[in-house]
Amino acid sequence: MKLSKVVVLVFLVPVIIGIKEDKKYWLEVAEKELKDSLSYAWNTNKAKNIVLFVGDGMSSDTITASRIYRSGEDSYLAWERFPHIGLLKTYNVDKQAPDSASAATALFCGVKAKYNTHGVDANVALNDCEASVPTDNRVDSIINWAQAAGKSTGFVTTTRVTHATPAPLYAHGPNRKWECESTMPIEESNCKDIARQLIENEPGKNIKVIMGGGRQMLQTVVNTTESDPIDTWAGRRRDGRNLISDWMADKKSRKASFSVVQNNEELAEINYDKIDFLLGIFANGHIPMDYKRDNGTNGQPSLEEMTVAALKILKKSNNGFLLVVEGGLIDFAHHRGHAAQALLETVRFSDAINATLGMINAEETLVIVTSDHTHSLAFNGNSRRGSDILGIAEDSKFDKIPYTTLSYSTGGPNNLAYEVSNNKSVRKNPNENDTTQFTYSQQAAIITDEAHHGGGDVAVYALGPYAHLLHTTHEQNFVPYVVAYAAKIGPYANSSSTSNKWSLIFIGNFLVLFTIFYTAI
């Protein structure tokens, strides 16, 4: 049965079993939530481990629609019951709505940057190679901080491992598109492409787990299949290098145990007790959308499967670990106006988080779930509860033509809402297509080259040590400082939560005594 169709059945259940959602019912719901809230206490343990999840392009409407798509209006995705929630302002230095690279620089490095740059500060403009070289203009990431503290590190993505979101974790540059040498201007020889920085430089060469797509960025010769073609939206390596072989040679020279895997069968055969480094490159470009991903032996793993594999290796560290997980194809689907694909990718993102929660101890592990930016998806009224979220909302009171519950404010040519009929511009009737199909493009109000990012705030959810620091509307660059403070790494490596606590108690007692003394006078 198609996933979205299950929603209708889910919301027939209250009727079938006689649940009456009257005032008594909603009082009971509220009292249970109140009881849960009153019983919660802040966790001020030092965070031994950190897992940061980034749903690329996962706006609040995406979350709501995906929740309904998965299990209905009154359900929750994996992170939606986390005790601490805030908002992040996503603008960057020169744009109201950011791209993924600049937003990820804020999320991972604590510094807002200029549009399309990564791992650098505002002194570096787009394409300014010269300005990106000095260390004063480069910024360290939470990967640097964690490694300096002796923690194992890793990242998992459904995009290319050299793509915009993961790049700021380990690379510095003036253009997110410089993933391999063929995408760079010939004259910019002082700059190193993102793929080489991952394999050759610190902290990239010391990252214990790297998993995602992007084989065509790492080696010149690649094989193609129907399910794994060349990504024609991106460049490909042309210099004869094989950076995967270089990665292996580096690990051999350091006498480190390692494994390289490139399909499901190889991933399933890993002996996790015997390796410390894992490089999983499962596609030439991005890993395919989940609805058409090849899950056979020669195919690609899901985000959940990659995340579980990463945790099995990283959890072996006595000093703890830091793992970053990106659900990158949520954004990819939105850009093409394919709402059904975006919702399924969000559900799979939730599956990865659910699996993680079953493998970690929340008393010592800080888990953060957020997004880098919003998107132009809109959740429209006025469909009935229990309706297919990918279906029709109602007829327009203006042109009498139906419209879908989900649409886009901007979109590509496939999202064009109007056609010419009898020399008049008429909005297309979505009932003439199956709007629930993965390949259906929801109508958009404004047609550009593709659906664009939004500039709205994104939600941030947190669980575990010092999760309560995320509690209001924050600048996006606040997130890595929460990670650093909770784990005592990076700028807070020499601080002590115990000493801070006693300092606060001392100050509090002093103020009480001062007040008593002042009142007595």
Helix (H) or strand (E) holding 7: helix 6-10
**Is 290 known as a binding-site position?**
no
**DSSP assigned state of 520:** H
Q: Is 450 annotated as a binding residue?
A: no
Task: Write down the catalytic residue from 100, 141, 259, 387.
Answer: 100
Q: Is 351 part of any known ligand binding site?
A: no
Is position 471 annotated in a ligand binding site?
Answer: no
- With 0-12 / 13-18 / 19 or more C-beta atoms within 10 angstroms meaning exposed / middle / buried, residue 486 is buried
DSSP 423-474: TEEEE--GGGS-TTSTT----EEEESSSPPEE-S-EEEEEESTTGGG--SEE
Q: How far apart are CA 499 and CA 493, in angstroms?
A: 13
CA distances from 120 to 97, 147, 173, 201 (A): 18, 19, 7, 16
Please tell me whether 335 is known to bind a ligand. Answer: yes
Is 331 annotated for ligand binding?
yes
What is the Rg, in whole angstroms, of the alpha carbon atoms belonging to the chain?
24
Pick the closest to residue 390 from 331, 446, 428, 342 (CA basis): 342
100 is catalytic: yes
Q: How far apart are CA 442 and CA 430, in angstroms?
A: 8
165 is in an annotated binding site: yes
Q: List phi, psi (to 5°) of 366.
A: -85, 125
Q: H-helix or E-strand containing 369? A: strand 365-370
Query: Rounded distance, CA 161 to CA 194, Å?
Result: 9
Residue bearing tokens 């079938």:
16
Encoded tokens for 432 = 């003439």
Rounded Cα distance between 289 and 332, Å, is 9
80 annotated as ligand-binding: no
Contact 513, 494 (CB under 8 A): no
Q: How many CB atoms lie within 10 A of CB 481?
A: 17
Q: Are 65 and 406 in contact (CB under 8 A)?
A: yes
453 is an annotated ligand-binding site residue: yes
What is the C-alpha separation between 245 and 60, in angstroms, rounded?
Answer: 42
Annotated binding-site positions = 56, 163, 165, 326, 331, 335, 372-373, 453
Annotated binding-site positions for Mg(2+) = 56, 163, 165, 326
What positions carry a catalytic annotation? Answer: 100
Annotated binding-site positions for Zn(2+) = 56, 331, 335, 372-373, 453
